[in-house]
A and B are shown apart, each in its own frame.
Chain A
Amino acid sequence: MTFDDAIKKSIKVFLQGKMPSKTSELSPEGLFYTPEYFDTLEAELLDGPTESTKDKDAKDKESIDAA
């Protein structure tokens, strides 16, 4: 198996939601960068407000506070 094949296999396994079990055992708190973490990150990034809507929301809030 070449390095490229190993990388492909590793990516495929990670996308299936599997984690390296022995590596997980090394840290008592568990691993931080899990498939669930990336799912949450994706949901936050893709469904979250854009920069323009953020500015608009901030301006609306300011106007409400001023009133």
Chain B
Amino acid sequence: MQLDAPIPGGNYTSDTRNYSWHRPPDLVDYDQAVDYLINKIDEPEQIEVVFAMLGIDAHITTVVTTILLQAVSKGKIGIDLAILVAGPLARYIEISAKDVGMKYELGIENKDRVIITPSLLKASLGIIEQDDEELEAPEEEAPLEEPTGSLMAMPADITAPQNEQDAMLGGETLEEEIPVEEAAVLEEELV
């Protein structure tokens, strides 16, 4: 029997120090982490990158996420502390952007959110008030023309062409269409 599963105990054979986030982080204190990140942002190269990102209409949340993921991947802070210090970092970037007069967007507003109103709720639940029903009632449609014949009757506007009618009535066209063999048989029968 072939099993598609990892070998039990296989995790003990690999080096758990391969990645920096597998080790304890360097900073575990909230204030120390914020201080480190603010100093990091204030570096000339880093602040250029931040302003360049804001210049291409990137949200502050995106910038913060990028900086924090970088710090986590380097093993500076843990992922839980990264989430906790996101607020101060975003606020600091916001202040820096205001200071240099740069346009920015935080990116925490949900613009696609549909505002729930009583009328929207009624519509979604299928509740229509009587007044609404009267207002929304469609105008009476003009009565359709009554059918002239039965369901299987031929439409009045469709008429067969004259030669077809002649053929159906046993005209010349029909006689010409009879194959030669059949005509011979008919003649024999008549005789």
Contacts and interface: CB of A to CB of B under 8 A. Distances in A.
Contacts of A8: 61, 107-108
A49 interface: no
Interface residues of chain B: helix, strand, loop or mixed (majority): helix
B84 A20 contact: yes
B41 interface: no
Interface residues of B, number: 26
A13 B87 contact: yes
B189 interface: no
Interface in B48-67: 60-61, 64-65
Contacts of A42: 95, 98
A22 B71 CA distance: 23
B92 interface: yes
Interface string B65-76: 100110000000
Given A10-B83, A11-B108, A41 B64 contact: no
A32 B87 contact: no
B95 A41 contact: yes
Interface size grouping (class) on chain A: 20 to 34
A7 B86 contact: yes
A10 B86 contact: yes
A67 to B, nearest CB: 35
A54 interface: no
A27 to B, nearest CB: 7
Contact of B61 (A7, A23, A31, A32): A7
B81 to A, nearest CB: 9
Contacts of B64: 7, 11
Interface of A: 3-4, 6-8, 10-15, 20, 23, 26-27, 31-33, 35, 38, 41-42, 45-46
The 9 closest A-B pairs by CB, nearest first: A14-B87, A10-B86, A33-B34, A11-B90, A38-B91, A7-B86, A33-B88, A32-B31, A12-B108
